[in-house]
Amino acid sequence: MQSTWPTLSLLIWIPIAGGLLAAALGERKASHARLLALAVSLLTFVLSISLLTGFDRSTANMQFLENKAWIEYFRINYFLGVDGFSVPLIFLTTFFGVLVVIAGWEVIRTRVHQYMASFLVMEGLMVGVFSALDGFLFYVFFEAMLIPMFLVIGMWGGPRRVYATVKFFLYTFLGSVFMLVGLIYLYTQSGTWSIPEWQGLPLGITAQTWLFLGFLAAFSVKVPMWPVHTWLPDAHVEAPTGGSVILAAIMLKIGGYGFIRFSLPITPDASNSLDWLIIMLSLIAVVYIGFVALVQQDMKKLIAYSSISHMGFVTLGLFIAFAIFRHGVGSNAAALGVEGAMVQMISHGFVSGALFLCVGVLYDRLHSRMILDYGGVADSMPWFATFAVLFFMANAGLPGTSGFVGEFMVILAAFNANFWYAFLAGLTLILGAAYSLWLVKRVIFGAVKSREVAALKDINRREALILGSVAVAVIMVGLWPQPLVDLMHASVNNLLAHIQQSKIPAATIATAGM
């Protein structure tokens, strides 16, 4: 569908233009910068709702297309479009764009205009990542979004912010260099930068394998997968609340989205032959990192490691499809895994973002993230405790919350491939409950720890609005996930039909995997 109204361009450039205008206001007009950021983020969110409501769920074709020549000499186009994979992620981005602005309304007091500008520009660039259909354009957005996050952590972060920002930048930038090499190779082979055309490019298994490894280097860091995950806890601990929220809720999803948009459709045979590697790394993340989360004393670090563990379900659900096909089970089970991975991405965005917002509420009052400094918070902050318990239960996979749906779908799909895959993945229900309940018991309940905790004030209307909005989303997806699944169903089936057209000899397929 060729769009007559440039909805995607508006979603990208309105927040970027708003960010530049906010930066130009200067420090003396902090209140104007806040109001501008709120107005721009709300407008962008409303536009994303029109994208959601105008999307045709019955087709896997790209919609809201925009295609204009950009750098004609190299055949680079300004090519945008969305399908069932990108639309929910764009909505998630604009949803948290509004909440981050409101969350920093009173907390950020220095360089307010630059803070708001950074998040607005970052929002536009992340929407660009999810809507770019030109490989070079995707890479520009993919790399450019690192800059505002680098500034957010480096300027408003904690005592070790320089270390955290350098580590964050080096990991993410170096990984994407390998992807750039792969993109250039695809251009030389096809004469185009069009991602949809790359997905139909006939490539040998050797070329596919090298491309797959290049994409893996870029997207595994973004997820992040074990063992390239160590930058994430440091970045979360040092980042301000808004930075942690966007990092967990949106940026980690770009890794999963990259596998969907590049690895699976462009290198299906290499993905088939190397699925055992991704499954192994995913299960290590689910189990090992879950144990690591159990021993954390810093609330932000615990949630960060929890994020790594839960994101393991995303990569597991995406690549379990190949093992399912080899067992001859059928496409329904494979679709369950891919759809479960997508639901998990959306759910994790809501839940992890909410958890970091909760930690931010406590930190704003007591200026401590250490679990040992709290206890009995429910006595002085009953409304906050209600929201916090809900979000931690969702993090533990409580039925009726969004945290249960995606993980359960992936576990069910894993049973069709290998019992031990499902068994190891299912351990997250135990580990997630263990570290979530352990934190809730020591922070929210029990005896009041100190006079400072007893004097804590409950959440105000601004904080209640933020946490309440996410709570509604967590419960809605938990109780009624069907609209979200329907949104992506046609795109999932189209992707699975594409990757089933494997050119690997049958004997190779039979012996591939763990």
Mean pLDDT of residues grouped by 10 in the chain (514 residues)? 76 95 86 92 94 90 92 91 94 94 86 91 95 95 91 86 86 88 93 91 91 93 87 86 90 92 92 90 91 90 91 91 75 86 93 93 89 89 94 92 91 88 88 91 86 88 94 94 92 87 45 35
- C-alpha dist (Å) from residue 319 to 72, 272, 385, 428, 499: 36, 8, 38, 18, 11
- Report the C-alpha gap between 36 and 43 in whole angstroms: 11
**pLDDT number for residue 512:** 37
Q: What are 386's two structure tokens? A: 């209600």
User: How is 157-209 classified by DSSP, letter by letter?
Assistant: --TTHHHHHHHHHHHHHHHHHHHHHHHHHHHHHHS--BHHHHTT----HHHHH
Residue written as token pair 């918070």: 377
**pLDDT number for residue 329:** 65
User: How is 22-59 classified by DSSP, letter by letter?
Assistant: HHHH-GGGHHHHHHHHHHHHHHHHHHHHHHHHT--TT-
- Report the C-alpha gap between 313 and 410 in whole angstroms: 7
- Report the C-alpha gap between 486 and 495 in whole angstroms: 15
**pLDDT number for residue 497:** 85
Other C-beta atoms lying within 10 Å of the C-beta of residue 446: 15
Q: Which of 279, 327, 321 is nearest to 425 (CA)?
A: 279
Q: Which of 137, 133, 263 is nearest to 203 (CA)?
A: 263
Q: Which residues in 19-33 are b (16+ Cβ under 10 Å) and which e? A: bebbbebeeeebebb
Residue written as token pair 């049973």: 415
CA angle 303, 306, 307 (to 5 degrees): 90
Q: What are 269's two structure tokens? A: 């045979």
**pLDDT number for residue 322:** 84
pTM, two decimal places: 0.92
- C-alpha dist (Å) from residue 314 to 147, 426, 490: 26, 14, 19
Q: Which of 51, 89, 61, 82 is nearest to 314 (CA)?
A: 89
CB 93 within 8 A of CB 126: yes
**pLDDT number for residue 328:** 67
Instruction: Supply the DSSP symbol for 74.
Output: G
Other C-beta atoms lying within 10 Å of the C-beta of residue 65: 16
- Report the C-alpha gap between 170 and 238 in whole angstroms: 16
- C-alpha dist (Å) from residue 449 to 35, 193, 198, 213, 226: 38, 59, 59, 50, 36
- Report the C-alpha gap between 139 and 88 in whole angstroms: 21
Q: Which of 428, 424, 367, 437 is nearest to 403 (CA)?
A: 428
